[in-house]
Amino acid sequence: MTDVVIQTNALTKRYGRVLAVDRLSLEVPRGHVFGLLGPNGAGKTTVMGMLLGLVRPTSGSFSLLGTDGTGRDALRRIGAIVETPAFYPYLSGRRNLAYFQGVMGRNDPRELDRLLDLVGLAGRANDAFKTYSLGMKQRLGLAYALLGDPELLLLDEPTNGMDPAGMAEVRDLIRDLGSEGRTILLSSHLLNEVEQVCDSVAIIAKGRLVVQGDVADLLRPQEQVRLRTTDDAKALTILTAADEIEAARAEDDALVVTIAHERSSELTALLSKSEVYVTEIAPLQVSLEQYFLDVTGENGERSE
């Protein structure tokens, strides 16, 4: 048993002059629901493609379930959906699943019944795939990914195109699958989805890893205060140098300092020691969206 089921080492993919994935090094621990979070075009699907052997890395390496990533043995223990699930349009949902089950060397009609029921497609199982809505296609994709009871799931935007009720159902399902000890790598550009479902997360932007860690640490709303002082320039110098202050920056005519609201008195005490006095102070709540935009550089340069 290995504690890390996916490990990438400086994984890189270049399409001509476009660098889709840039020296990405990730570790996905066993039993975690791991989020791969990033804006559209960040390289999430390319990473999934490389892990699944569909896209050849330009450089770097990876291992899956303790095996060399270039082999196909590990893929038989992995369930995956990449982008919008693609199936044969003229076959029914059931026959599509039967085909893929057969290609995997198995033939178990009871498993098909169970999975179709699990994803809520039992009533439309005999209809042609081409008649399915996008949400139904995603559900069939999930059923396909669960064929063979895989120990690792790679899910690329699994709620894409679903209505809110469908999204909630699928997220519940993913949480349940994760609680059974299965490792799940979930790529998404939806912050709330990752926050609701994942234990750990890696944020990527422009093919690069920006930050990786526990969801609770990385995506918790950061507390900040906005203040004005008798000497903002001097105050910024003091706060930037202070160990107990996470970050400070000048913004408009004030300073924005990352610090828990209950510790605001420490801030004023620190400044007053240097004869800088706070004239105005107010709490700020940074939204998840703001944090995401900050760290992915979608909203200008990082401030920390």
Partner 1 sequence: MTTQVLSLTRWEWYKLRRRWMPWILLAIIAALPQLSLWGSVSGSFGSETEQAVRGADGTRLLFPNSVVGGLLVAQVYGIVLIMILAASLLGTDYGWGTLRTVLSRGTGRWPFLASKLLLLALLGAAGLFVGAAAWAVGGAIAMVTLGDGTWLAESADWIEVVKWSGKAAFGLFPYIALAACVAVLTSSSGAAIGIALSYYMVESILVGVLFNFDWFERVAEFLIGPAGYGWMGLPGGMTFSYPAELPDAAQSFVVLLGYVLVLGGAAFWLFQRRDIAGARGE
Residue 123 DSSP code: G
CB atoms within 10 A of CB 27: 16
Closest distance between partner 1 and the C-beta of residue 147, in Å? 8
Closest distance between partner 1 and the C-beta of residue 118, in Å? 18
x/- map, 95-134, partner 1, by CB under 8 A: x--xxx-xxxx-----------------------------
Closest distance between partner 1 and the C-beta of residue 134, in Å? 13
Q: Give the residue, chosen from 38, 43, 49, 158, that forms a contact with partner 1 under the rule CB under 8 A.
A: 49
Contact flag: residue 62 with partner 1 (CB under 8 A): no
Residue 109 DSSP code: H
Contact flag: residue 18 with partner 1 (CB under 8 A): no
Provide the token pair at 25. 């090094």
Piece in contact with partner 1 (CB under 8 A), picked from 35-43, 94-102, 242-250, 253-261:
94-102
Q: Give the residue, chosen from 68, 73, 149, 217, that forms a contact with partner 1 under the rule CB under 8 A.
A: 73
Contact flag: residue 72 with partner 1 (CB under 8 A): yes
Sequence-ordered alpha helix ranges (H) in the chain: 44-51, 93-103, 109-118, 134-145, 164-179, 191-197, 215-218, 232-241, 264-273, 288-296
Contact flag: residue 75 with partner 1 (CB under 8 A): yes
82, 45 Cβ separation under 8 angstroms: yes
Question: Which residue type is seen at 180?
Answer: E
Contact flag: residue 68 with partner 1 (CB under 8 A): no
Contact flag: residue 249 with partner 1 (CB under 8 A): no
CB atoms within 10 A of CB 67: 14
Backbone angles phi, psi at 286, to 5 degrees: -85, 125
| Minimum CB distance to partner 1 smaller for 36 or for 238 | 36
116, 93 Cβ separation under 8 angstroms: yes
Contact flag: residue 60 with partner 1 (CB under 8 A): no
Provide the token pair at 110. 């009871």
| Minimum CB distance to partner 1 smaller for 104 or for 216 | 104
Closest distance between partner 1 and the C-beta of residue 123, in Å? 21
Provide the token pair at 267. 């801030």
| Minimum CB distance to partner 1 smaller for 83 or for 199 | 83
Spatial distance between the Cα atoms of 223 and 233, rounded to a whole number of angstroms: 22
Site for partner 1 in 130-189 (CB under 8 A): 144, 147-148
Backbone angles phi, psi at 44, to 5 degrees: -65, -50
Contact flag: residue 87 with partner 1 (CB under 8 A): yes
Spatial CA neighbour of 288 closest among 190, 197, 160, 187: 190
Provide the token pair at 124. 């439309």
Q: How many residues bind partner 1 (CB under 8 A)?
A: 35
Q: Give the residue, chosen from 38, 60, 85, 178, that forms a contact with partner 1 under the rule CB under 8 A.
A: 85
The residues binding partner 1 (CB under 8 A) are: 49, 52-56, 72-76, 78-80, 82-91, 95, 98-100, 102-105, 144, 147-148
